[in-house]
Structure 1
């Protein structure tokens, strides 16, 4: 049916008409809250969000918006730091469905991709199909979630732009939809209709080519004199690409246009040879300016990367991720990371040494390290790549913001520019985190702006105006790769002459006569101080430097703290650390790290940590203290698929902990009310386990009866989930006797409720392994950490159990407490200090080790297991252990033990405690499993499986009923008892010749 034209006010009719054409459009309040932000300082609520699946659907949305005068904002990963991806009207999210990568053309080394393809996924696909010989070069720090369309729109670059340049240099052709719905293909020397029979598009292409050629001919001198003067001149439009000497390259002219001229739907991009190996030279300096003075000498040696960062980011990394995350860096207060590529690592390392000889003559380098091991290189690159997120909050909790994060000058002027810029920062009373692509003269900077108070915003405006004049005085660009967006478009007239500003306006009008595409950006700009996300919030509620604290009735509630009062008012604190979210979007990464498993399953923004945090932020903004909490539909929709895996608490660069927010919300909502059945069954399971193990045969039979399973499904427990088998009490007692614990031991073993009930054979195995390390082993008193109470939002119950645990464990010693279930270890370490508080809880938490961590420490002291290692293994790290203890201990243990081939599952298994057992979440649980653990099992079908977490073991048995898994203690057991019975829940077939059976 035809879409009825009307005014912009008739949004309801527009949305309904699009839905009638089966186009996915969402104008719910929750969805609008999610898309009111990107990674910038700005907040603009759209009218609706559309998720087109095809180019034709894009055309229909754009035409409908043109008919009604509604603006259109194209959006990829939503990681813009300049406010390019927020706006009124309809937001077109191309990242959800338009994600096809065509076959690589091996002859031309090019590939066509949809605009929604993530850069990292494209790179992985290219490297896989080429056997590692080719890659896609641009690698901004948002590589794991930024899309092709967004990166072309911003003209992104990345760490290796010294060698490969900007996105402009890699774009050969683009397919686009114009503001009036024409479907065109633009490249070098031409623009044409994709479909020659589409008369409207053919005519539109012809007119555009005529007009754009005339625009270039009429302004040759102006374009040549003011544009493309430095490597990182990204501000404004790239009209230099229209010059005859550049071949009238319309695809490259549209790079950096930020969706203001057309909606880019596909692109043909060039590939480059992948370096065979690289070496990383890390240089330490007295300060950032001193490091910049060596850039030109380094550039002369043709490295592939020159990245700078200051010590403040390193300190944040050390504080957040531990000292070993930065232990490869040299001594210094500022650093340059210089990379060389070569055919062999020896040649690359020799290039590092030759550069050192040159730099020693200048005498500015304080210290250096040369890093050749791939894992160490990756660890150091993560310090640089996480800079934007890590630097969003100082160690003392003060929030920092973008706004002047992306200026650029010619590399030879970088040191002088930095010196002047840092002086300007100091004059305004700010402190700065400074990092960037120093080899290209691009400076990233986060500053502790006060954007909440009127006085603070006035200072922000004054600083920004002066900073713009400063970079222009140094021959630089306001934007070096993020685009102008809302942050810098208003300042373009400081950088360019009136003639160039007029040219920009004419260029946009030729493409978008009505100005409906991303209005207010580059041309006819909105003020850079308008639409600030913090503007309008009560100043007292958000004092500068309070980080993500909130204020309730004059009482400050810190992130992670328990509420001092109960009732609806206290629900304002449920947002917790969600206020720390700045939109970096690491939670939208589809590989690398555990966060966020539900987003990986659904690819829906609402199921990302960022989407959830934005909903919580917006709810506190719009409803103040009158919050509905968990009863609010938007909140329940946003948090329903949160697995409470806690990965966001460690993987999110800003430390957002949605699991804790969800727990507090549920706790608040159900206080004094009847809870769901699963809260009393799974949530109270440790309470029922002693009884159930006494009647284990009857309980196990009952769990398999179809009628009972159907009843359980109606009550919330999935009938499709394989349930664990309870170990009979006599067998459990025999395993406990077998452990033969020493009352005066040096190491204590905590056998949690789940291990006792389902895997008691692990207890004596763990004791034998720890004794083999040279320690005497004892047993802690029986206790419960309250984990299942926390995950089901029963925090008072969890607090009581943790308090009893602390009282029993705080024995006046500092003996390590080795917890066999990693989720319990993580709970005691992380939750006891928060829920119980006090020095005793801190002391007990500090003593807690996961079993893998304890073994890793013993290996570091020189102990080696006597058990024979298998040749290969599959490893699933429990998500809570990853969040609290890190995920490297198991890998190091297996490597040191001698396991040659380890297939690692890189994400949550999908069970995550009660989540995977709940009927409404079973399908999502299995979708999460399909992302990582299922492929890992399939790729190593005969290998033993290591699952210290009981939830992980249950998922393995769900995926393959004939395949069991082992706890690390059972695999390392030096003398397994010949008559020990393996737990029915995790037993597995006899091993192949690849390795011995360590189960018993």
Structure 2
């Protein structure tokens, strides 16, 4: 649809119709437009509006409203597409938030019917207990939607399982029926195998009969060309490009539903999908085989497939090196078989309904490997999680491919564009060297990995998309690559679709007659061309609408942090989000992103926030810079939990971006009162410590307590934590300082929370260190790392605090004295924020290197621990997980004799002072309910709850669990008091 046509749309009428007929959210605002202007591709197109329907009737109503004013439409799921098919100058319909229903599993028919927003992995969790799964599982399976799978004709890591043991490799092969709505608002169901009913359907008339009649005529005219131009799925399992016109052939059964799969929202919108299911084969073993290079790894693909694996993936050396340098999946990487000359690996997974059956398949394959000269040092086996193994850890190497190759250590950004071409599997060994030579000819680089068992190669490439010459090279390479894959009888896309990225090149694969047939197919469904225009057929150019491009020049205002991973460039730090949506995983087993998990709203995901920050710098949609209300609103529910710094595949650092934004947003303006009350909590606590008993009485007696909370901006449902009767440093001075004067020195950092509130924790930690022979020292004057100040962007004050800290600790850190942190969030400041705020201060670097979490120090130095009996449930502070992890804590608990397990995922929801802020109590608890609070409530009364974070312990106490959590130091002290050795 042209720009002229867009300007002719009655936007006021469209807004009125949508508002009157849709029960979900209807948004024409800059924030929504900014968030939905991009997906995971290279393209940017600002939508007309965004609708988040609550019901299927809402979706139909949107189509009717757009029909009445001639507005284009774009249905969208999770928005992780890499080809630009989920961005357009259209009314975007986001089905992912509410339209997530999963129906009952029909075990006999092996089917399940789901709404388009149902998440791929959640569908499999629903079908798994019946021994069935939906075969296609892209690497984004934890958050991508079935509607997106249908739109792209997705495949995935285990589509080989569906190919060998189920209906077929692609989503189209695994669809039995679709409930659809067309651009003009007509709703009906389309199915498969309808050749015998075709006359009756046409005779019944209506929009469906009209479409079916036209499709039959199309099929009959072009049948011979379709048969000649469409290779069978057996020959080319990953043919995803173009429309599935072959599904209309009489010998195929006139499968209209399957013909619609892969049309990328250009023909109709899916309201429900009935899916065919595959045997789950949950007893699995992963065999990893090391090879000299990728071509060598392809030598026996056909023979390996004959053994019946459920997955067959390939990895190259560059991918492994990237993850090693980025410190991703390190434990799993160390377990890969590796010789000095090995540059490639195959991941061959076998599955069965029984463990013995799986073992038998693996043994036959291993014997074959041995017969073909593969020694044991080139092979490693990993059992499934169900069988006590950890093959899922190895799969994370493969699933992390996109993130680890986006911004690799070579400093050159890598982008999609030719990331999923496919050839017949037996020709993969010929194709890869030719493709690598093409990279070299164009001066390009990129890691290669992918679905080798089905001939599909993934690769992000270091295209220069910022200069005119770079964009010309980008286009020239893609044109040559299209010619190359076509010469192999392959497909431009083997998984991600055409969108705008490859649609312009489809003539290389199909030729003019089939392209015209595809245009006719679209016109039959969408005569006015309003469904996702400019994608797949009659496409916009692949070098138009680039998010970057030669004209890109986002603002680069002066900033306070260093952004070392982005060359000091705040714009690049925001651009770092590649859109794969891992922050949208609605799984309590993950930390990132707690506010999205609680709300389901895109603006409260790391991705949504990063996009808005970049749009703020771009200035075309969000044009008020640091003063932006749209960005502020999105960041307001960011807990600064640091989950994104470790869980995000490209390590978007939203807490730092938030602090930077707030610093500039409030420049020369007053902040809300809670920013000062909580940001300078160290000063308030310092005053309260002069008369803690009086302050505690006042904060628990009305009306004084209510007045204090109102003055500080504390939510009325919260209780102000009690102040310690004797602060930690005062206790330390009164006892005469540390023991063991001849022992090695260690600084115990007296953070505000364990100094003025939980002083008993600090006392316990001092005694634990001294029991190991260490001489504990502690700053005598008031010090604070300034952690709460970051959350409100008070960065000038933070710098003052940190410079004082460095002055106090200078002699110690220059001597290499360990600085032990009791409170994880404060230790994390030394590890992360300090060097980014003072990047050229050598003492800051020294403090970073000296700083260590208490539990890490306990295990590193093997401090003596008492013996305890029973069970312990460990909860890790988010900042602790992001700056070291919980392995030392678990090790210490187990060394004490406890049966210890970790509560995985989520955030406590308090996040420092965030959950104390007025109006945030309820959402704070919703975050906590994702993982922590249910686990604590469900724990046996005799089970110890262990949590080192002050906010975590406070949330547990104030959320009605009836439990009190212990710091590891307190637990050690309890054991000693009990007299246990």
Q: Same fold (TM over 0.5)?
A: yes
The question of 1:484 aligning with 2:498 is answered: yes
Cα distance between partner residues in 1 of 2:484 and 2:689: 73
Return closer, same or farther for 1:890/1:262 CA change in 2, 3 Å cut-off: farther
Deviation at 1:223?
Answer: 1.9
Query: Which residue of structure 2 lines up, in the alignment, with residue 597 of structure 1?
Result: 594
The question of 1:319 aligning with 2:296 is answered: no
The question of 1:701 aligning with 2:701 is answered: no
Query: Which residue of structure 2 lines up, in the alignment, with residue 216 of structure 1?
Result: 219
Query: Which residue of structure 1 lines up, in the alignment, with residue 618 of structure 2?
Result: 621
Deviation at 1:814?
Answer: 3.3
Query: Which residue of structure 1 lines up, in the alignment, with residue 726 of structure 2?
Result: 729
Cα distance between partner residues in 2 of 1:7 and 1:447: 36
Query: Which residue of structure 2 lines up, in the alignment, with residue 988 of structure 1?
Result: none
Pairs within 5 Å for 1:799-838: 799-810=799-810, 811=812, 812-837=814-839, 838=841
Query: Which residue of structure 1 lines up, in the alignment, with residue 706 of structure 2?
Result: 710
Query: Which residue of structure 2 lines up, in the alignment, with residue 987 of structure 1?
Result: none
The alignment partner of 2:270 has SS state of strand
Return closer, same or farther for 1:443/1:574 CA change in 2, 3 Å cut-off: closer
- 8 A contact 1:749–1:777 mirrored in 2: no
The alignment partner of 1:833 has SS state of helix
Pairs within 5 Å for 1:147-158: 147-158=145-156
Query: Which residue of structure 2 lines up, in the alignment, with residue 569 of structure 1?
Result: none
Return closer, same or farther for 1:154/1:604 CA change in 2, 3 Å cut-off: same
Cα distance between partner residues in 2 of 1:6 and 1:397: 40
Deviation at 1:179?
Answer: 1.4
The question of 1:226 aligning with 2:237 is answered: no
TM-score (norm 1): 0.89
Query: Which residue of structure 1 lines up, in the alignment, with residue 957 of structure 2?
Result: 957
The alignment partner of 1:391 has SS state of helix
Cα distance between partner residues in 2 of 1:494 and 1:563: 40
The question of 1:15 aligning with 2:29 is answered: no
Query: Which residue of structure 2 lines up, in the alignment, with residue 368 of structure 1?
Result: 379
Cα distance between partner residues in 2 of 1:913 and 1:32: 32
Cα distance between partner residues in 1 of 2:413 and 2:692: 54
Q: Larger deviation: 792-801 or 427-436?
A: 792-801
Deviation at 1:92?
Answer: 0.6
Cα distance between partner residues in 2 of 1:729 and 1:894: 28
Cα distance between partner residues in 1 of 2:521 and 2:894: 59
Deviation at 1:897?
Answer: 5.1
1:165-194: per-residue Cα shift (whole Å, max 9, x none)?
22223211111111111111111234999x
Return closer, same or farther for 1:887/1:120 CA change in 2, 3 Å cut-off: farther
Q: Larger deviation: 15-24 or 645-654?
A: 15-24
Deviation at 1:901?
Answer: 6.2
Cα distance between partner residues in 2 of 1:336 and 1:581: 29
The question of 1:284 aligning with 2:293 is answered: no
Cα distance between partner residues in 2 of 1:135 and 1:163: 10
Pairs within 5 Å for 1:160-171: 160-164=158-162, 165-171=169-175
Pairs within 5 Å for 1:782-793: 783-793=783-793
Q: What's the C-alpha RMSD, in Å, of the aligned pairs? A: 3.1
Query: Which residue of structure 2 lines up, in the alignment, with residue 522 of structure 1?
Result: 536
The alignment partner of 1:761 has SS state of helix
- 8 A contact 1:450–1:460 mirrored in 2: yes
Query: Which residue of structure 1 lines up, in the alignment, with residue 456 of structure 2?
Result: 442
Q: Larger deviation: 519-528 or 438-447?
A: 519-528
Deviation at 1:685?
Answer: 1.0
Query: Which residue of structure 1 lines up, in the alignment, with residue 123 of structure 2?
Result: 122
1:559-581: per-residue Cα shift (whole Å, max 9, x none)?
259999xxxxxxxx665611211
Query: Which residue of structure 2 lines up, in the alignment, with residue 938 of structure 1?
Result: 937
Query: Which residue of structure 2 lines up, in the alignment, with residue 646 of structure 1?
Result: 642
Cα distance between partner residues in 2 of 1:940 and 1:200: 64
Query: Which residue of structure 2 lines up, in the alignment, with residue 50 of structure 1?
Result: 51
1:913-935: per-residue Cα shift (whole Å, max 9, x none)?
12111003222212211222222
Return closer, same or farther for 1:277/1:6 CA change in 2, 3 Å cut-off: closer
Cα distance between partner residues in 2 of 1:557 and 1:953: 31
1:915-970: per-residue Cα shift (whole Å, max 9, x none)?
11100322221221122222222332523222111111111112126321111222
Deviation at 1:590?
Answer: 1.0
Deviation at 1:803?
Answer: 2.5
1:297-348: per-residue Cα shift (whole Å, max 9, x none)?
3212211111112222222222223543521122232221111224565764
Pairs within 5 Å for 1:274-353: 274-321=280-327, 323-331=330-338, 332-342=342-352, 348=358, 351-352=361-362
Pick from 426, 429, 432 the counterpart of residue 415 of structure 1: 429
Query: Which residue of structure 2 lines up, in the alignment, with residue 182 of structure 1?
Result: 186
The alignment partner of 1:81 has SS state of coil
Return closer, same or farther for 1:599/1:335 CA change in 2, 3 Å cut-off: same
Deviation at 1:487?
Answer: 0.4
The alignment partner of 2:40 has SS state of coil
Deviation at 1:816?
Answer: 3.2
- 8 A contact 1:735–1:760 mirrored in 2: no
1:181-219: per-residue Cα shift (whole Å, max 9, x none)?
1111111234999xx9x9999611222223323333333
Pick from 445, 462, 466 the counterpart of residue 480 of structure 2: 466
1:843-884: per-residue Cα shift (whole Å, max 9, x none)?
22122221232344456xxx884321423x333211111222
Cα distance between partner residues in 2 of 1:116 and 1:679: 38
Query: Which residue of structure 1 lines up, in the alignment, with residue 777 of structure 2?
Result: 779
Pairs within 5 Å for 1:104-119: 104-119=105-120
Cα distance between partner residues in 2 of 1:416 and 1:898: 57
Pick from 191, 205, 209 the counterpart of residue 208 of structure 2: 205
- 8 A contact 2:866–2:976 mirrored in 1: no
The question of 1:559 aligning with 2:569 is answered: no
Cα distance between partner residues in 1 of 2:566 and 2:402: 29
Structure 1: runs of 5 or more not aligned? 543-549, 565-572, 980-995
The alignment partner of 1:485 has SS state of coil
- 8 A contact 2:740–2:773 mirrored in 1: no
Query: Which residue of structure 2 lines up, in the alignment, with residue 984 of structure 1?
Result: none
- 8 A contact 2:28–2:49 mirrored in 1: yes
The alignment partner of 2:459 has SS state of strand
Query: Which residue of structure 2 lines up, in the alignment, with residue 237 of structure 1?
Result: 243
Query: Which residue of structure 1 lines up, in the alignment, with residue 143 of structure 2?
Result: 145
- 8 A contact 2:866–2:896 mirrored in 1: no
Deviation at 1:972?
Answer: 3.5
Query: Which residue of structure 1 lines up, in the alignment, with residue 165 of structure 2?
Result: none
How many equivalent pairs are there? 947
Cα distance between partner residues in 1 of 2:620 and 2:33: 15
Return closer, same or farther for 1:869/1:502 CA change in 2, 3 Å cut-off: farther
Deviation at 1:256?
Answer: 0.9
1:109-153: per-residue Cα shift (whole Å, max 9, x none)?
3221110111122222333x54xx333332211111110001111
Query: Which residue of structure 2 lines up, in the alignment, with residue 848 of structure 1?
Result: 851
